[in-house]
Chains A and B, each alone.
Chain A
Amino acid sequence: MSTLQTAVRRETGTLLEIEDLATHFATPGGVVRAVDGVTFSLDHGQRLGIVGESGCGKTILSRSIMGLLPRRNVIRKGSVLFEGTELTTMSLKDRQKIWGAEMAMIFQDPMTSLNPVMKIGKQLAEPLRIHLGSTRENAQEIVLKLLQDVGIPEPEKRLEQYAHELSGGMRQRIMIAMALACGPSVLFADEPTTALDVTVQAQILDLIEDQCREREMALVLVTHDLGVVAGHTDQIIVMYAGKIVEIAPTATLFSKMKMPYTEALFQSIPKLADPSHTRLTTIGGRPPNLVAPPDGCSFSPRCPYATDTCTKVEPELQQAEPGHLFACHYPVGSDRWNEVQVSLGRRSGGH
């Protein structure tokens, strides 16, 4: 067998513990509360999805966890424990030792995420050379193995190519190979398929899933597409206006969602069973201004079930069952919800 080692972790238990994490940007227009008090944890090998509309803080959350955001004009609060080590107070030098080695990230647009003037081989070898101190020859050997793992044909040829010579799907595979290079324990995938062709999307998602399973690597999959997280995650966080509004195991979330926002997201997925020319369901309005979020529940201005209470009192996260939390005064299935459903004609009266 080959002498190559792809670090496989057999650890269990908590990998990441995020507590009350907040990231605010000081802008000329005021403080943007992009991430506002987020608490959750991620186990070794667990696959977590973070969903929400554009501008609700998903991307910033994932970058905040890694500590990738610039320091200037950014206000950070809360704690990120990575295998028991606090990341938020760590120096840049120490964080650089974790980036690419322990935590890796792939991005939305593979067209712009690779250095246009550096050969693919050199970019792929970089994390190996930095973190593992690999020699050029050794790194090349590992890189070729990685390229095979992510399903790139003619890997030797790719090493000498530049990003512009490859297709979008191919580039995303390169990005994944680069992220996997040092055998990280968690992969952050920030909208990894959004910029890709639909046919390629499924391949990339399957690739990510296979690699996670094979390497027992945890995954944080950030997306606006519930369909994407459905098949590829164990747990889902629904974010709205910088906050977690619902968190549940994937199966639970799809069958017993509580938060009207989750319901609205779910309803806006086009269904195959719908007759053609069915009007697509949308969520009216737009995500709130994060400089001055509305009082009470931030979803209340767009929520069909909202009452005066909703616009005044911010709902706390409450437990529906162990592992399933939601933040809503009138969750799906409540009396108020039934009432509105009836008045909307979606459902006949229960009694």
Chain B
Amino acid sequence: MRYFLRKLLQLVIVVFAVTFTVSLALGAIPYAEERIIAAKGSGAINEEEKNKLLDSLNLREPTLVQYGYFVGDLVTLDWGVTLNGNQPISTSISDGLGISLRLMIYGQLVALLIAIPAAVFAAYRSGGLFDRFSTTVSFGFISTPNYVLATILGLLFTVRWKLFPAISTDVGFFEAPWDHFRNFFLPTIVLALPLAGAYMRLLRSDLVNTLQSDFITTARAKGVSTPRILFGHALRPSLFSLVTAAAVNVGALVGGSVVVETAFNLNGLGRRTVLGIFASEFRLVQITVVILALVYVITNFLVDILYGFLDPRVRVGRLG
């Protein structure tokens, strides 16, 4: 219980620090007011509208009051509209988050589905042919930049073989599963392959160590079959590095794989944020940053709980 409270306190501190910094940051932007007016289209609005707009953003209030309003707006979900197009910011963010979350989940799943069996097999015969082969391939994936992979796979699958659309559209899974698959396949693969490479190498080296443990010999001496030794005995205590890396990537991927989203024209959170920065959509960027911080903090919290599940010794150490 103390452990949970401590984690909760940590969460509160991080959220406070992030919101405060983000709120202050607006004041640090030179000519923020002018930029906002310009983004709105300076000729298109009169003086009265201009004042109304700037008042609605609380830009003229003292810093602390600004922060109070910002937090208030965040909590009440009163996020306002985008400067360009008057789209509700909440809609823009939830649309972007929808795409980025799906990409993140698909990418992670595919990466783990490739990495775990490959790592187990490579570790089982470490130094063997498959081990050397998979290590080389994974190194290749890790060192290939996203945009190169996206371009090559895009060329092959969309231009030459015409298997997938070159421009992905966000089609809901439940409305049209097949189209959904076609639209998300390539972005997912481009996202997943480098991850799979990294995950495989992490898990493989941890597994090789675990397989040399005494308790593995015990399991062998009991007559436990090889697959059961690998998956039943060795895998779980070897998952720490993998879980840590995967958790870090949750945050990073929700924040958006800008390159992949751009390459396949998916309007995910990452792409929206980058475009928002260029378009002086400060409000959108501020709120996105806060959401990302929340995602990071919550993921870390969940991972800490997962550690306890992976290794009961952690539970004792932290809860006791």
Using CB atoms, name the residue of chain B closest to A130.
B223
> Using Cβ atoms and an 8 Å threshold, which residues of chain A touch B162?
none
> Using Cβ atoms and an 8 Å threshold, which residues of chain A touch B221?
66, 68, 99-100, 104-105, 179
How far does the alpha carbon of A62 sit from the alpha carbon of B312 in the complex, in Å? Answer: 33
- B174-216: CB near A (< 8 Å → 1, else 0) gives 0000000000000000000000000000000000000001110
How far does the alpha carbon of A98 sit from the alpha carbon of B316 in the complex, in Å? Answer: 37
The reply to whether A116 and B223 contact each other, CB–CB distance below 8 Å, is no
Question: Which range holds the interface residue count of chain B?
Answer: 20 to 34
How far does the alpha carbon of A109 sit from the alpha carbon of B237 in the complex, in Å? Answer: 19
In whole Å, how far is A317's beta carbon from the nearest beta carbon of chain B?
Answer: 30
User: Is A107 in the interface zone, CB < 8 Å from B?
Assistant: yes
How far does the alpha carbon of A104 sit from the alpha carbon of B217 in the complex, in Å? Answer: 11
The reply to whether B214 and A117 contact each other, CB–CB distance below 8 Å, is no
> Using Cβ atoms and an 8 Å threshold, which residues of chain B touch A162?
312-313
> Using Cβ atoms and an 8 Å threshold, which residues of chain B touch A109?
214
Using CB atoms, name the residue of chain B closest to A128.
B222
- A146-180: CB near B (< 8 Å → 1, else 0) gives 00000000000000001011000000000100110
The reply to whether B224 and A130 contact each other, CB–CB distance below 8 Å, is yes
User: Is B218 in the interface zone, CB < 8 Å from A?
Assistant: yes
How far does the alpha carbon of A332 sit from the alpha carbon of B237 in the complex, in Å? Answer: 53
> Using Cβ atoms and an 8 Å threshold, which residues of chain B touch A98?
223
User: Is B236 in the interface zone, CB < 8 Å from A?
Assistant: yes
The reply to whether A99 and B312 contact each other, CB–CB distance below 8 Å, is no
User: Is A118 in the interface zone, CB < 8 Å from B?
Assistant: yes
User: Is A101 in the interface zone, CB < 8 Å from B?
Assistant: yes
Using CB atoms, name the residue of chain A closest to B126.
A72
In whole Å, how far is B78's beta carbon from the nearest beta carbon of chain A?
Answer: 47
> Using Cβ atoms and an 8 Å threshold, which residues of chain B touch A178?
218, 222
Q: Which of B215, B217, B237, B311 has the most CB of A within 10 A?
A: B215
> Using Cβ atoms and an 8 Å threshold, which residues of chain B touch A113?
214-215, 217-218
User: Is A136 in the interface zone, CB < 8 Å from B?
Assistant: no
The reply to whether A175 and B218 contact each other, CB–CB distance below 8 Å, is yes
> Using Cβ atoms and an 8 Å threshold, which residues of chain A touch B10?
none
How far does the alpha carbon of A130 sit from the alpha carbon of B224 in the complex, in Å? Answer: 7
Using CB atoms, name the residue of chain B closest to A73.
B127
> Using Cβ atoms and an 8 Å threshold, which residues of chain A touch B127?
72
In whole Å, how far is A216's beta carbon from the nearest beta carbon of chain B?
Answer: 21
The reply to whether B222 and A107 contact each other, CB–CB distance below 8 Å, is no
The reply to whether A96 and B223 contact each other, CB–CB distance below 8 Å, is yes
The reply to whether B220 and A99 contact each other, CB–CB distance below 8 Å, is yes
Given A107-B214, A117-B236, also A126-B313 (CB < 8 A): no
The reply to whether A116 and B313 contact each other, CB–CB distance below 8 Å, is yes
7 A-B contacts (beta carbon < 8 Å): A92-B226, A104-B221, A116-B312, A126-B219, A126-B224, A162-B313, A165-B316
Interface, chain B (partner A; CB < 8 A): 127, 213-215, 217-226, 233, 236-237, 310-313, 316
Query: Which 10 interchain pairs have the tightest Cβ spacing?
Result: A100-B223, A100-B222, A99-B223, A112-B214, A105-B221, A115-B215, A162-B312, A113-B214, A127-B222, A96-B223
